[in-house]
């Protein structure tokens, strides 16, 4: 069961990455072009970590995921800060990303954090990215222009994906040590099944957004 879920999880990421690459020109019109690189990196990272785990190459993946969290926040800050109607919040969006990157760099100065996943980073990452999504929703639903609403619908689907995914995933990562002590579901540990299952929803939203970008262009 765990192998099947992982295969489906990887296939969904791969499909999302391929769609982002194929529709890259259409994605750029909605400030989403960076997702082609980001999703490709995400897929390659997951493949690399799977291979490394199989051959026991890493004592811990904490440092890899710390770097990924920085990239994660930076990518969504880049996307939302460039949306025209979010211009009043641009400094706040960039400032939150800068604070998170600074906090990550500071905690990396302590050797023990290279093998331990601190709780506050997953929570902070989730709050920041969910915050970006909520900023978008609050301004999007105040748009008084039907064509403008339709134009930004793809980003609305990206936002739906992240505001559902990140609150759940952040809590599960923050309490990963507790979830490890729980039982499993069909042979899969909860701390493994929650991120992968929620990812299926988020990346499905991404793929639908990419389709809409192409269709509406």
Q: Work out the burial of residue 105: count CB atoms within 10 Å of its CB; fewer than 13 is exposed, 13-18 middle, 19 or more buried.
A: exposed
| Local structure of residue 57 (DSSP, 8 states) | -
Considering the entire predicted model, what is its pTM? 0.89
Positions in the chain whose pLDDT score sits under 50:
115
| Local structure of residue 189 (DSSP, 8 states) | E
The domains of the chain are located at 2-216
Q: Which two tokens stand for residue 185?
A: 């579901």
Tell me how far apart the alpha carbons of residues 41 and 58 are, in angstroms, rounded to a whole number: 19
pLDDT at 92: 98
pLDDT at 6: 83
pLDDT at 120: 80
**In 3D, which of 156, 179, 183, 157 has the Cα closest to residue 169?**
179
103-144 residue pLDDT tens:
888 887 775 555 455 568 888 999 999 999 999 999 999 998
pLDDT at 206: 98
pLDDT at 105: 86
């Amino acid at each position: 069961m765990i192998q099947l879920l992982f295969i489906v999880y990887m296939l969904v990421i791969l499909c999302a990455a391929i769609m982002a690459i194929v529709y890259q020109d259409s994605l750029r019109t909605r400030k989403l072009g960076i997702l082609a690189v980001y999703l490709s990196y995400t897929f390659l990272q997951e493949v690399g970590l799977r291979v490394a785990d199989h051959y026991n190459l890493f004592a811990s993946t904490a440092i890899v995921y710390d770097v990924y969290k920085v990239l994660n926040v930076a990518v969504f800050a880049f996307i939302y800060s460039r949306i025209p109607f979010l211009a009043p919040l641009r400094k706040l969006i960039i400032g939150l990303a800068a604070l998170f990157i600074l906090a990550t760099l500071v905690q990396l100065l302590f050797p023990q954090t290279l093998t331990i996943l601190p709780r506050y980073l997953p929570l902070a990452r989730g709050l920041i990215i969910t915050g970006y999504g909520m900023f978008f929703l609050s301004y999007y639903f105040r748009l008084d222009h039907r064509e403008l609403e339709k134009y930004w619908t793809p980003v609305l689907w990206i936002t739906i994906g992240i505001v559902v995914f990140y609150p759940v995933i952040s809590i599960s990562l923050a309490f990963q040590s507790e979830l490890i002590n729980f039982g499993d579901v069909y042979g899969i540990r909860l701390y493994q099944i929650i991120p992968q299952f929620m990812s299926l929803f988020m990346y499905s939203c991404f793929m639908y957004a990419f389709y809409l970008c192409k269709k509406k262009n």
